[in-house]
Amino acid sequence: MSNTPDVAEFARRIRGHTLRMVHAANASHIGGCLSMADILAVLYARILKNDPARPTDPDRDRFILSKGHATAILYAALAERGFFPVAELATYCKDGSKLTGHISHGVPGVEVSTGSLGHGLPIAVGMAMASKADRRANRIFCVMSDGECDEGSNWEAILFAPHHKLDNLVAVVDFNKLQSFGRVSEVLALEPFADKWRAFGWHAVEIDGHDLERLATTFESVPQARGKPTVVIAHTIKGRGVSFMEDRLEWHYKSPNAAQLAQALAEVGA
Amino acid sequence: MRNTFVAALTELAERNPNLWLLCGDLGFSVLEHFASRIPERYVNVGVAEQNMAGVAAGIALSGKTVFIYSIGNFSTFRCLEQLRNDVCYHGADVKVVSVGAGFAYGSQGYTHHAIEDVAVMSALPGMEVFVPCDPHEVRTITTAIATSGRPSYLRLSRSGEPVLAGSEAWEPRTPRVLRQGRDVVILASGPIASACLEAAEVLASEMAVGVVSAACLKPLDEGFVRELAGEARAIVTVEEHIARGGLYAAVATCLAAARGRPPVFGLAIPEVAGKISTAGDRDALLARAGLSAAAIAQRIRNAIGGL
Ligand SMILES: [Mg+2]
């Protein structure tokens, strides 16, 4: 795949931006940003048909970030994609900046504000439904956290989408196995996770959420099952790319200090 | 009211290809009129109000106007955060419609009594709040909000509510005078205005009581309310809702700082904690709450007598 090196470079850059942003703002959620870095890189560098010059094009692909706390990395991806200047990332969480700690639709390229969990998927379902009604060829992508799959509202939407044959809808679960107070398996087990989605009528695929090529081919081939929405259960590692953050719960909260930032940037190659 | 709403909405949807109706598996023998004529823009989302509100926001953010419909507490409280975040924060063109306002569901009990909904909906930023008193207001308001482009709450009762005044055109965001009278002015919201008209008649030999339907609680036409208050000895609000956060709160807040204003008396459903519902139809429950026509008349008489 000829574009993969570009995607890898995109992933490196947004990891670097995110580390700097979270450090400068003394902000949280670096772990959940890094776990979906590769997913976002593939989507924004390769998959999504959304032109920064035509942000209200009704035929654009929609991207909904339902895990709205993992925001620095999406802002970084949008800036790299040209929705606003990369220099603006330095204002993240600063007084008066539109780059708020939970994702804001005041930021160019952001479709909806989230932050309270369990909201993104129903909205994405509505967008998929409207696109179908208008016979548009676009696709709706919604990235969710594993922890937010505790929310009943998601399961209402998971029940609803296959009933209406919304095969233009792609849910991506950043399955990093950690939620805010511990291991998903200990707080509220989701397994057998893919089977649950399948039982509700979804086409479910489980992949390595850090395999750029596999992510790209998976997203490109959606819908793989006509008439069924797709869920991509992306097995990821929280804090991926920074050795001392990987699979560590505390990096849901902590912000890297200067020394940690330097090491982290060196490790991600940014 | 429900049938008038659905008839009006169906007419609008037949002309507007972007108008949708979602329901939470409620509306049997009411919504079929819309569903049979416009099946492609009617969705029964099932018994899942959070999803209904989120889906409505997603459809609306794709350039549509979406009405969502259920029983009072279900279309409001059950999906409150979706209405706050997904609908209001985004200014999504979603209209929340509830049926069974106040005690309309009578013997069905507490879960079905929508008596705090106006307060909660009024607290949401950008949400217009409408409580029509008769079918004429329902039709006018439905038509107005269908093209407003912003979130609205429309609170309906059930069926059989009488038309309370002439059906001449009226601007739905201004109060509508149902009966002239300047000694005491009753501001009423919802079908309880009918009892207010009866009360005014009972009191006719003692004082001239005007009755005004304040169907639009938010934004409240404050200029109109101050003007009404200008010459009256007292303003009385009557609502099928608790006073906190409802019509009384809105009117009292509007008049509080007005120089030389008359007193404002609020007749509303009492707030009671821990009281178990007992059966009774709407009229019986209203009577127990001190909101029968006779009770309204007597309470106004007492209030005026104490001035
Ligand atoms: Mg997680």
Under the banding of pLDDT at 50, 70 and 90, the label for residue B272 is: confident
Taking an 8 Å cut-off on Cβ atoms, the answer to whether B54 and A134 are in contact is no
- Give the whole-angstrom CA distance, residue B178 versus residue B166: 8
Q: Element (H or E) spanning B215, and its range?
A: none
| 3-class DSSP state of B109 | coil
Q: Enumerate chain B positions whose Cβ falls within 8 A of a Cβ in A.
A: 40-41, 43, 45-46, 48, 50-51, 53-64, 81-82, 85-86, 89-90
The residue type of A160 is F
Q: Who's near B73: CB < 8 A, 6+ residues apart?
A: B98, B111, B112, B114, B117
Taking an 8 Å cut-off on Cβ atoms, the answer to whether B55 and A111 are in contact is no
* pLDDT confidence of residue B174: 96
Residues in chain B closer than 8 A to A115 (CB atoms): 85
Compute the distance from residue B54 Cα to the ligand 1 centre, in Å.
Answer: 22
Task: Work out the minimum CA distance from B19 to partner chain A, whole angstroms.
Answer: 11
What is B2-155's CATH topology? Rossmann fold (3.40.50)
Q: How many other CB atoms are found less than 10 A from the CB of residue B139?
A: 20
Cβ(A238)–Cβ(A252) below 8 Å: yes
Q: Does domain A4-268 have CATH number 3.30.390.50?
A: no
| Residue of chain A whose Cα is closest to the Cα of B80 | A119
* pLDDT confidence of residue B168: 86
The residue type of A233 is I
Taking an 8 Å cut-off on Cβ atoms, the answer to whether A113 and B61 are in contact is no
Q: Is A100 on the interface with B (CB under 8 A)?
A: no
* pLDDT confidence of residue A201: 98
Distances (CA, A) of A52 to A13, A92, B266: 19, 20, 54
Q: Who's near B286: CB < 8 A, 6+ residues apart?
A: B102, B103, B192, B195, B240, B292
Convert the pLDDT of each residue in B279-299 to its tens digit: 999 999 999 999 999 999 999
- Give the whole-angstrom CA distance, residue A58 versus residue A63: 13
Q: Is A33 on the interface with B (CB under 8 A)?
A: no
Compute the distance from residue A146 Cα to the ligand 1 centre, in Å.
Answer: 5
The residue type of A216 is A
Task: Work out the minimum CA distance from B120 to partner chain A, whole angstroms.
Answer: 19
Taking an 8 Å cut-off on Cβ atoms, the answer to whether A122 and B64 are in contact is no
* pLDDT confidence of residue A2: 45
Average pLDDT rounded to a whole number, residues B211-221 = 98
Asked if the peptide bond before residue A108 counts as cis, ω within 30 degrees of 0, the response is: no
Q: Which residues pair with A173 in a beta bridge?
A: A144, A233
Of the candidates B99, B93, B132, B304, the one whose C-alpha atom is nearest the C-alpha of residue B217 is: B132
Q: Which residue out of B16, B23, B38, B51 would a mutagenesis test of the A interface target, given it has the greatest number of A Cβ atoms within 10 Å?
A: B51
Q: Is A122 on the interface with B (CB under 8 A)?
A: yes
Domain spans, chain B: 2-155, 176-305
Helices (H), chain A: 4-25, 30-35, 37-42, 72-81, 120-133, 152-163, 184-187, 193-199, 212-220, 258-268
Q: Supply the DSSP symbol for B78.
A: T
Compute the distance from residue B233 Cα to the ligand 1 centre, in Å.
Answer: 63
Q: Is A126 on the interface with B (CB under 8 A)?
A: yes
* pLDDT confidence of residue A1: 43
Q: Nearest CB to B59: which of A114, A116, A130?
A: A130
Taking an 8 Å cut-off on Cβ atoms, the answer to whether A112 and B54 are in contact is no
Task: Work out the minimum CA distance from B115 to partner chain A, whole angstroms.
Answer: 25
Taking an 8 Å cut-off on Cβ atoms, the answer to whether B85 and A133 are in contact is no
Taking an 8 Å cut-off on Cβ atoms, the answer to whether B62 and A121 are in contact is no
Task: Work out the minimum CA distance from B55 to partner chain A, whole angstroms.
Answer: 4
Q: Supply the DSSP symbol for B114.
A: B
Convert the pLDDT of each residue in B118-167 to its tens digit: 999 999 999 999 999 999 999 999 999 999 999 999 999 999 999 999 88
ipTM of the predicted assembly exceeds 0.95: yes
What sign for the dihedral angle of Cα A228, A127, B34, B118?
positive
Compute the distance from residue A44 Cα to the ligand 1 centre, in Å.
Answer: 21
The region of weakest confidence among A135-149, B41-55, B268-282 is B268-282
* pLDDT confidence of residue B52: 98
Q: Is A131 on the interface with B (CB under 8 A)?
A: yes
Taking an 8 Å cut-off on Cβ atoms, the answer to whether B63 and A111 are in contact is no
Taking an 8 Å cut-off on Cβ atoms, the answer to whether A157 and B54 are in contact is yes
* pLDDT confidence of residue A48: 97
Taking an 8 Å cut-off on Cβ atoms, the answer to whether B61 and A122 are in contact is no
The two domains B2-155 and B176-305 share their CATH topology (first three levels equal): yes
Q: Which residue out of A121, A141, A156 would a mutagenesis test of the B interface target, given it has the greatest number of B Cβ atoms within 10 Å?
A: A156
Residues in chain B closer than 8 A to A124 (CB atoms): 58
Taking an 8 Å cut-off on Cβ atoms, the answer to whether B58 and A123 are in contact is yes
Compute the distance from residue B57 Cα to the ligand 1 centre, in Å.
Answer: 26
* pLDDT confidence of residue B167: 82
Taking an 8 Å cut-off on Cβ atoms, the answer to whether A125 and B55 are in contact is yes
Q: Are strands A182-183 and A178-179 parallel, antiparallel or unpaired?
A: antiparallel
Residues with Cβ within 5 Å of ion ligand 1?
A 145-147, 176, 178-179
| 3-class DSSP state of A107 | coil
Distances (CA, A) of B10 to A157, B32, B35, B143: 27, 10, 9, 11
The per-residue pLDDT string of chain A (270 residues; one tens digit each, 9 = 90 and over) reads: 444 569 999 999 999 999 999 999 999 999 999 999 999 999 999 999 999 999 999 999 999 999 999 999 999 999 999 999 999 999 999 999 999 999 999 999 999 999 999 999 999 999 999 999 999 999 999 999 999 999 999 999 999 999 999 999 999 999 999 999 999 999 999 999 999 999 999 999 999 999 999 999 999 999 989 999 999 999 999 999 999 999 999 999 999 999 999 999 999 999
Task: Work out the minimum CA distance from B91 to partner chain A, whole angstroms.
Answer: 11
What is B176-305's CATH topology? Rossmann fold (3.40.50)
* pLDDT confidence of residue B306: 87
Residues in chain B closer than 8 A to A121 (CB atoms): 54
